[in-house]
Structure 1
Amino acid sequence: MNEFQRRSAEINDLLCVLNVLNWDARTQMPAGGSGARAQQMATISALAQEKLLDPAYEAAAQDVSGDDLENRAAQQALHAVRALKRVPAELTRELALLKSEAQDVWARARAASDFGLFAPQLTRMVELNRQLAEALGYEDHPYDALLNMYEPGLTVATLLPLFEQLRAHHVPLLRAIQEKPQARSDFLNRSYPAADQKRLSLALAKGFGYDTARGRLDESAHPFEISFTRQDVRITTRFQENFLSGALFGTLHETGHALYEQGVHPDLSRTVLTSDLLGLYAVAGASYGTHESQSRLWENRIGRSKAFWDLHYPQLQQAFPQQLADVDTVAFYRAVNTVHPSLIRVEADELTYDLHIMLRVELERALIGGELAVKDLPGAWNARIRSDLGLDVPDDARGVLQDIHWSAGMFGSFPTYTIGNVMASQFYVAALEQMPDLENNLLRGEYTPLREWLTDNIYKHGRTYTPHELLERVTGRGLDPQPYLDYLSGKYGELYGLDIQKEQSI
């Protein structure tokens, strides 16, 4: 290793240690350990930032004169150094302390369905993220600075027109679907033992190519994927005995993330190109939206497809013979693709999912911009759910407390879910164009060709390219929602017998 590579590896090691501590806190750690864990994570974060801002590291990056890959790594490091120089060390430490504490309080508040328990931590988190936005700098809105941490180049000015285009498509389609008879889905809420769900979920994940020699499946309050280099990539899901599809699709979703991390080229391990230096986080994806494109692709384009269940439903029936004795493949496929507005984002159907994201983005943008006070957040949340989805929120646990993101300080990350939906369809269309036999492979349950194509075109590059560069390389154009809109219209038009042009022109 040269000096830049050596120092970059040390920083990546520290970020991976942070991930280990975070994984343990969210899966194994007893509640009494939260205070000490917060201090530990704050210390490691401070050490990582100290090494990143060491003048010797900046000098080593400036001295790089290697190949294109090494130069890209050096430029990314210098960009992060310039940005973090503007962030006071005390703010970084306070954020790290608060993240650990706030996640613990959030978990207790959610269990008690009491927003008031969490409100003080959230108020402070909003204040610190405003300070972070000011330190990082922005042109038009403080939210832009936070967006850029998760999706480089994304701004409010570019995001809102995308949301308007999606809303103009989704809402009329939703209204048309609501006029149609709905498929039965009651059987999804029968009793399904958690241990059996876990065995089946893991089997399906391994079928996609998740390597359990380099990973494992655990349970957590909120599903997530996390990596400690490509050699140790872990996923979690949430098992509810009376909700079969939650754990199944939660696992497939996180498997998509895991395939990305396991697919990064070995040469990129312990480098800048598997490190989010600005967010002080070990992650290999080009951006959070690019990462999300893979979880949504594997969960929805593959995992909710008719071809998938034509092939795998007998496996499901074998695991749950009594519960599914009166349910055939077609009924199950229709049930897991039913459009039915839900209170819970992670349980939402593909069509209404983006409406959940838009709600969160607009609320957190208002929080960061100072137009909405934390104490008014539950009321604003409930009003938007009622206007967008026609539902009444019965309690905080199924409302404003359902997501972990704000307790983790991840303001600006929610838009990447919808960005990921858009990217997923673009990547899938590109794969179809380049692999004419792809859908025949999928009909036979042969997932390796798709995974290898995604690895060659996306996964192996880690953070080498910006999300825009990657889209251009793989699809020939920048972010384009049309393939996504075509996919949703085609899928739900067929499922519900809609004349899409006629229905959407009403």
Structure 2
Amino acid sequence: MSGTDDRYAVLVERLRKVALLESCGSVLGWDEQTYMPSGGAAHRAEQLALLAGMAHHEATDRELGDLIGELESEDLGEPGGPRAANVREARRAYDRATCLPRRLVEEISRVTTLSQQAWVTARREKDFPAFLPFLEQVVALKREEAAAIGFGDGGEPYDALLDHYEPGATSSWVDGVFSPLRAATVELLDAIRGSQVQPPVDILTRSYPLDAQREFGMAASKRIGFSFEEGRLDVAAHPFCSGFGPGDCRLTTRYDEHHFPGAFFGTMHESGHGIYEQGLDRQAFGTAMGVSCSLGIHESQSRMWENFVGRGEPFWIHLFSEAQAAFPEALGQETRERFMAAINDVRPSMIRVEADEVTYNLHIMLRFELERALIDGSLDPADVPGAWNDAFTRDFGITPADDSEGCLQDIHWSAGLLGYFPTYALGNIYAAQFFVAADRAIGPLSEQFAEGEFGSLKEWLNREIHQRGRQCRADELVEVVTGDGLSHEPLVAHLRGRFGPLYDL
């Protein structure tokens, strides 16, 4: 074994130690959102802060930096190969981590743990003033983080946070991607508003017993390829997916007896995340080749299974009779056509996670706008409710009745995830391009879905996306997988193709 091989093996061992510590924190974070009694929040905050500090200590050790530096000057094989990618991303992670003092890392962990518990209560009680002190702390800490990391010439503080979730992305780049998508979305939405078609949405608010919803959602999750031998589904205030490492991936959702889409499509969405996590290269755990390419690519997988598959007619050609059997009172006398129209209803609505495919990206663009202002200091946390309502009225023509359906609806800010939101809309764009490429390579997918066959798509995604890890940047991955550069046009074509016929446009 060469000296390079020895040093590379040590690097992988060191990176896995960091990843193991971080995964321990993820388990505690999952438990906090699912089973921890509320009285345990303060102690849990100390536990998570301790683990965050330990992981940060390992991730910033000078010997690790020296090791990375040595490997950067050595022959790592193919320039774009796995070893080169692991060393490149190790450098990126090390440089970013060493910008942050351990004190700040621990304090962010401690405050966000307490903040998430405060958010649960504030959202339930529609009480923004009760949450405000926590939001102020979180924003102050994230401003400090952004300042410590820094950003490129011509950039802005938000870039430092965005780059954590979507490596290489900047606010101006996202602006350029979102601008034509917004214009096309508004044009399509205006056309739909002018349609005389009124989907029978009352179908979705009939009685759907919670136990039946859980069983039906889990059955659909299994059908598309999520393994419950290496995963589970629980209830949380806000749906999420946590991948702790090989063989352990946890999904959560929330149920409402009189709102079928919430839990079902939430489960499909989180299952898409879970399928990605279960599809990563297990042997590469802890390295760049064993993690997702970016959060936008991760969201492309969840949005693809939720929308491109789950809201499509071929999926329900296969599954609607099972839905009727699971919910005989609500769906026993319904037609698949009416049900399809209901689940694809388009109208401005308050809640992002329940929004239709057309308006969803406008929800994301609104949050992107407000987050940038929070981080650059032009928006004070105390002014968030008013700014939210003004922007929502401007973009959607409706105004939240209270903050629980406004600025308190998402868990992200309480968890310190500023910079995350843009990845949802980027995920929709990526998903559209990937879906077209998959259909071209292994399709027609519609025929397979109508027969209940989803394995070929899952295997294609495993091979073309999941197993590549973080070998390249997201926009580069799109080009590698699809042969085309990043474009909003496939997403717009998908939306027009689905909703044009439904609304007689």
TM-score category of the 2 structures, normalised to the smaller one: over 0.9
Q: 1:273 aligns with which of 270, 283, 289?
A: 289
| Aligned partner of residue 245 in structure 2, secondary structure | coil
Match of 1:418 among 425, 429, 436: 425
Query: What does 1:16-55 correspond to in 2, within 5 Å?
Result: 16-55=23-62
Aligned residue number for residue 502 of structure 1: none
In structure 2, give the amino acid aligned to 1:158: W
1:272, distance to aligned residue in structure 2 (A): 4.2
Deviations 1:224-251 (A, max 9, x none): 0011113111111111111111100000
Q: Quick one: which amino acid aligns to residue 441 of structure 1?
A: Q
Q: Pick from 304, 320, 323: which aligns with 1:313?
A: 320
Deviation for aligned residue 1:155:
1.3
CA distance in 1, matches of 2:246, 2:444: 29
Query: Which of 136, 144, 156 in structure 2 is aligned with 1:123?
Result: 136
Scaled by the length of structure 2, the TM-score of the pair is 0.95
Q: Is the 8 A contact 1:339 1:351 kept in 2?
A: yes
| 1:153-204, Cα deviation, whole Å (9 max, x unpaired) | 2112111122221121111211211122211111211121111100000000
Structure 1 counterpart of 2:121, which letter?
A: R
Alignment pair present for 1:174 and 2:189? yes
- Asked if residue 149 in structure 1 is aligned to residue 164 in structure 2, the reply is yes
Provide closer, same or farther for how the CA distance between residues 416 and 385 of structure 1 changes in structure 2, counting only shifts above 3 A: same
Once residues 330 and 491 of structure 2 are traced to their aligned partners in structure 1, the CA distance between those partners, rounded to angstroms, is 34
How far off its partner does 1:452 sit?
Answer: 0.4
Cα deviation for residue 443 of structure 1 reads 2.1
For 1:257 and 1:476, the matched residues in 2 are separated by 24
Q: Are 1:107 and 2:120 counterparts? A: yes
SS at 1:391 equivalent: coil
Q: Does 1:241 align with 2:257?
A: yes
1:208 corresponds, among 224, 227, 251, to 224
399, 422, 433: which is aligned to 2:440? Answer: 433
Q: Cα gap change, 1:323/1:439 in structure 2, threshold over 3 Å: closer, same or farther?
A: closer
State the partner residue of 2:276: 260
Q: Which residue of 2 aligns with 1:11?
A: 18
Alpha-carbon contact 1:12-1:272 (below 8 Å) kept: no
1: distance between equivalents of 2:91 and 2:494? 40
CA deviation string 1:379-408 (max 9, x = no partner): 111112212112121111111100000001
Alignment counterpart, residue 224 of structure 1, candidates 237, 240, 250: 240
Asked whether the equivalents of residues 152 and 287 of structure 1 are also in contact (C-alpha less than 8 Å), the reply is: yes
Amino acid at match of 2:189: L
Residue type of the partner of 1:42? A
Partner of 2:179: 164
1:483 aligns with 2:472: no
Whole-Å separation in 2 of the counterparts to 1:381 and 1:489: 29
> What's the offset of the Cα at 1:3?
1.3
Displacement of 1:454 after TM fit?
Answer: 0.6
| C-alpha distance in 2 between matches for 1:107 and 1:320 | 30
Q: What is the CA-CA distance between 1:66 and the residue it aligns to?
A: 4.4
Q: What CA distance in whole angstroms lies between the structure 1 residues aligned with 2:45 and 2:288?
A: 25
Q: How many corresponding residue pairs? A: 489
Deviation per CA, 1:383-439, whole angstroms, max 9, x where unpaired? 122121121211111111000000011111100000000000000111122124433
Q: CA deviation at 1:147?
A: 1.0
After superposition, the CA RMSD in angstroms is: 1.3
Does the alignment pair 1:406 with 2:413?
yes
Which 4+ stretches in 1 moved above 4 angstroms?
Answer: none
CA change 1:273–1:33 in 2 (3 A) is farther
Gaps spanning 5+ residues in structure 2: where? Answer: 1-5
2:102 matches 1:89: yes
- Once the two structures are overlaid, the 10-residue window that deviates more, 430-439 or 445-454, is 430-439
**Structure 1 residues 311-363: Cα deviation after superposition (integer angstroms, max 9, x where no partner):** 10110110110121332100001100010211000000000001100111101
TM-superposed CA distance for 1:215, in Å, is 0.3
Q: Which residue of 2 aligns with 1:327?
A: 334
Q: How many percent identity over aligned positions? A: 42
C-alpha distance in 2, partners of 1:466/1:424?
Answer: 15
Verify the 8 A CA contact 1:230 1:263 in the aligned structure 2: no
CA distance in 2, matches of 1:21, 1:246: 26
Of the structure 1 ranges 332-341 and 59-68, higher mean CA displacement relative to structure 2 is found in 59-68
Task: Give 2:202's aligned amino acid.
Answer: D
**Partners of 1:431 and 1:453 within 8 A in 2:** yes
Which region of structure 1 is more displaced relative to structure 2, 72-81 or 54-63?
54-63
Q: Unmatched 5+ residue regions in structure 1? A: 275-283, 499-506
SS at match of 1:26: helix
Is the partner of 1:340 in helix, strand or coil? coil
TM-fit CA distance, 1:267: 1.6
Match of 1:457 among 443, 461, 464: 464
Counterparts of 1:436 and 1:319 in 2: how far apart (Å)? 30
Q: How much does 1:59 deviate?
A: 2.5
- List per-residue Cα deviations over 1:8-64 (Å, max 9, x = no partner): 111111111011001100001000011010111111011011001111222233344
Cα distance change of structure 1 residues 436 and 309 upon mapping to structure 2, 3 Å threshold: closer
Query: In structure 1, how many angstroms separate the alpha carbons of the residues matched to 2:99 and 2:361?
Result: 34
Q: 2:83 corresponds to which letter in structure 1?
A: E
Equivalent-residue separation in structure 2 for 1:272 and 1:209 (angstroms): 24
Specify the SS of the correspondent of 1:227. Answer: strand
